[in-house]
């Protein structure tokens, strides 16, 4: 037998090309074996006819929260990863979260790996949330984790149980410089948020809308500039996660024009939703709780436009879901954030669902004849190839080329879905009870999702075909710098001055 699976198709899209109609993809043992035309096949070759369809690499969602201790009502591995494949995502990178009291992160990683094992419909890896980066963890445990394929960390500049001060941030960055792990940062100024939150509470302003008031752009702006400065001083690449506002994004843009390796991420909620969604509606004034995320949805449509600009012009390296939802309406009428009849936004866990809708929402604007906000290649780069490179999966994930895992999204032929697809909670596969995109129409949806050569999602015939034992833990290598480079001169230091403390 020449090939186990065969995809006959029209348009193959990678981060660099849209190949002419007629290309075929040969798959063997879960890997892409060849691309070409009239590939050899025999009677046992399974064939998927994708005529008229775009085929893109399986989505790599490098920022999801499944079954994390600090979001207990959110998705677990089974529901979250099932939702991923139904939306064309074949790889997720989730978080293992260290508690501040933990002096070792090894039990934490073991625990989170156990939660996922045998319960994931898609491939997966972990970032470590470092809340207490002791010298022993950094010098002894991090090298061990890197050797086990956990090659990235997330640092928080806000939230009391998670946040690090500047000296801790600097220590981790110095360690990243030596060990080569990838550092993600949640950049919001904690004290600004506390000050405003306390004053709002005292004045009785506790409805969900005030969540957006309590975390103004200036909090994101200040922390973004600060972490870029620390990364510049230590000559270490970083990725600033879930960016939401223009003023903060401009710091990233400026740093990149100086060739600093500053990466940034944005998410669907910051392209499509505004803070007015936090006001709820006449039927349910607390419904705004469904759209509480951090950074918050912004007030001004110009911020949405700016995020679209960053998507198109290369400021953003990754487009992730930050899937971190909680069930809104619990049995017994208990609603998120509502206790004893009082709604307090500070009790609402931060995060919205989005792992399933991420690809269709962005694909809607890719390569359109009219009002195209990005090319199809850029769509692939943001949703699959660049996250794969940044997080150490290059050569395995994020491309359709011989030797790569055969992870594919086969979209419906464009002519087939004239009316588009309406996003509706009832059709989604996550474990929570809403989507903030209810009623939105997108032009296409993954028709098939292929994970390492196996058809795991068939929208027209059976829906989910995969199982919760299909996903495997990905032992990632070290990520590579996707924008800028190291060894840049530091603002205000003479050339070579930093050499004294190398």
CB-closest chain residue to Zn ion: 108
Residues in 19-78 at the binding interface with ligand DUC, rule: CB under 6 A: 65
- In whole angstroms, the minimum distance from the beta carbon of 53 to Zn ion comes to 32
Query: Can you tell me the distance from the alpha carbon of 197 to that of 263, in angstroms, rounded to the nearest whole number?
Result: 30
Among 15, 192, 324, 382, binds ligand DUC (CB under 6 A): 324
Among 245, 350, 396, 449, binds ligand DUC (CB under 6 A): 350
**Residues in contact with Zn ion by the rule CB under 5 A:** 108, 186, 322
Residues in 214-253 at the binding interface with ligand DUC, rule: CB under 6 A: 241-242
483 binds, among ligand DUC, Zn ion, none (CB under 5 to 8 A by kind): none
Among 207, 287, 322, 329, binds ligand DUC (CB under 6 A): 322
The smaller minimum CB distance to ligand DUC, of residues 242 and 443, is found at 242
- The structure tokens 């369809």 sit at 53
Q: What are phi and psi of 323, to 5 degrees?
A: -60, 110
The smaller minimum CB distance to ligand DUC, of residues 211 and 389, is found at 211
- In whole angstroms, the minimum distance from the beta carbon of 156 to Zn ion comes to 7
* Alpha-carbon radius of gyration of the chain: 22
Q: Across-strand partners of 343?
A: 338
403 cis-preceded (ω within 30 degrees of 0): no
- In whole angstroms, the minimum distance from the beta carbon of 492 to ligand DUC comes to 32
- In whole angstroms, the minimum distance from the beta carbon of 242 to ligand DUC comes to 6
Query: Can you tell me the distance from the alpha carbon of 312 to that of 375, in angstroms, rounded to the nearest whole number?
Result: 8
Closest CA to 178 of 136, 130, 142, 150: 142
Q: How many CB atoms lie within 10 A of CB 61?
A: 30
268 binds, among ligand DUC, Zn ion, none (CB under 5 to 8 A by kind): none
The smaller minimum CB distance to ligand DUC, of residues 70 and 427, is found at 70
- The structure tokens 């307090």 sit at 344
- Per CB under 6 A, 186 contacts ligand DUC: yes
- The structure tokens 């995969």 sit at 466
- Extended beta strands in 58-198, E state: 59-61, 89-97, 123-129, 152-156, 182-186
108 binds, among Zn ion, ligand DUC, none (CB under 5 to 8 A by kind): Zn ion
- Per CB under 6 A, 335 contacts ligand DUC: no
318 binds, among Zn ion, ligand DUC, none (CB under 5 to 8 A by kind): none
- In whole angstroms, the minimum distance from the beta carbon of 295 to Zn ion comes to 8
- The structure tokens 């996250």 sit at 387
Query: Can you tell me the distance from the alpha carbon of 164 to that of 16, in angstroms, rounded to the nearest whole number?
Result: 39
- In whole angstroms, the minimum distance from the beta carbon of 153 to ligand DUC comes to 13
| Coil, helix or strand at residue 69 | coil
- Identify whether the C-beta of residue 250 lies closer than 8 Å to the C-beta of residue 225: no
245 binds, among Zn ion, ligand DUC, none (CB under 5 to 8 A by kind): none
The smaller minimum CB distance to ligand DUC, of residues 94 and 176, is found at 94
350 binds, among ligand DUC, Zn ion, none (CB under 5 to 8 A by kind): ligand DUC
Q: Left if phi > 0, otherwise alpha if psi is -120 to 50, otherwise beta: which for 483?
A: beta
- Per CB under 6 A, 351 contacts ligand DUC: yes
- In whole angstroms, the minimum distance from the beta carbon of 196 to Zn ion comes to 18
What's the Cα-to-Cα distance from 204 to each of 106, 201, 214, 279, 286, rounded to whole Å?
43, 5, 13, 16, 15
The smaller minimum CB distance to Zn ion, of residues 15 and 187, is found at 187
| Coil, helix or strand at residue 338 | strand
- Per CB under 6 A, 294 contacts ligand DUC: yes
Query: Can you tell me the distance from the alpha carbon of 20 to that of 114, in angstroms, rounded to the nearest whole number?
Result: 44
Query: Can you tell me the distance from the alpha carbon of 287 to that of 313, in angstroms, rounded to the nearest whole number?
Result: 35
The smaller minimum CB distance to ligand DUC, of residues 186 and 429, is found at 186
The smaller minimum CB distance to Zn ion, of residues 62 and 377, is found at 62
Beta strand 152-156 with 24-28 is: unpaired
- In whole angstroms, the minimum distance from the beta carbon of 398 to ligand DUC comes to 22
Report the interface residues with ligand DUC, using CB under 6 A: 65, 186, 241-242, 294, 322, 324, 350-351
């Amino acid at each position: 037998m020449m090939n186990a699976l065969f995809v006959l198709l029209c348009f193959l899209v990678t981060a660099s090309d849209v190949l002419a109609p007629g290309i075929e993809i040969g798959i063997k043992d879960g890997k892409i074996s060849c691309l070409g035309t009239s590939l050899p096949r025999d009677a046992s070759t399974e064939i998927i006819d994708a005529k008229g369809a775009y085929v893109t690499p399986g989505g790599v969602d490098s920022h999801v929260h499944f079954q994390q201790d600090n979001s207990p009502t959110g998705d677990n591995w089974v529901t979250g990863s099932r939702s991923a494949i139904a939306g064309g995502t074949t790889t997720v990178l989730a978080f293992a979260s260290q508690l501040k009291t933990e002096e070792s992160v090894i039990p934490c990683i073991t625990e989170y790996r156990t939660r996922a094992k045998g319960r994931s419909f898609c491939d997966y890896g972990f970032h470590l949330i470092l809340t207490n980066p002791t010298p022993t963890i950094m010098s002894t445990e991090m090298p061990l984790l890197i050797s086990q394929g956990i090659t990235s960390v997330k640092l928080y500049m806000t939230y009391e149980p998670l946040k690090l001060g500047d000296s801790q941030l600097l220590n981790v960055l110095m360690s990243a410089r030596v060990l080569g792990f990838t550092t993600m940062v949640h950049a919001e100024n904690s004290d600004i948020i506390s000050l405003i939150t306390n004053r709002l509470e005292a004045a009785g302003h506790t409805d969900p809308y005030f969540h957006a008031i309590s975390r103004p752009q200036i909090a994101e702006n200040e922390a973004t500039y600060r972490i870029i400065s620390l990364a510049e001083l230590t000559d270490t690449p970083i990725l600033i996660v879930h960016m939401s506002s223009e003023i903060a994004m401009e710091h990233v843009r400026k740093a990149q024009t100086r060739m600093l390796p500053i990466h940034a991420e944005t998410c669907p909620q910051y392209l499509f939703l505004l803070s007015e969604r936090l006001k709820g509606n006449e039927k349910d004034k607390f419904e705004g709780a469904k759209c509480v995320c951090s950074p918050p949805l912004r007030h001004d449509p110009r911020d949405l436009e700016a995020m679209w600009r960053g998507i198109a012009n290369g400021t953003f390296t990754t487009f992730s879901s930050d899937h971190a939802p909680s069930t809104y309406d619990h049995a017994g009428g208990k609603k998120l954030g509502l206790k004893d009849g009082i709604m307090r936004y500070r009790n609402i866990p931060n995060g919205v669902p989005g792992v399933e809708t991420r690809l269709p929402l962005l694909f809607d604007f890719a390569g359109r004849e009219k009002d195209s906000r990005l090319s199809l290649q850029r769509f692939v780069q943001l949703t699959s190839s660049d996250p794969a490179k940044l997080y150490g999966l290059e050569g395995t994930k994020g491309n359709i080329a011989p030797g790569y895992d055969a992870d594919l999204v086969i979209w419906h032929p464009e002519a087939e879905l004239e009316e588009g697809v309406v996003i509706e909670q009832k059709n989604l596969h996550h474990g929570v009870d809403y989507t903030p995109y209810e009623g939105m129409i997108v032009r296409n949806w993954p028709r098939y999702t292929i994970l390492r050569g196996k058809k795991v999602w068939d929208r027209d015939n059976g829906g989910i075909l995969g199982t919760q034992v299909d996903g495997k833990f990905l032992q990632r290598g070290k990520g590579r710098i996707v924008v800028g480079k190291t060894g840049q001169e530091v603002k205000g230091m003479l050339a070579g001055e930093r050499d004294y403390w190398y």
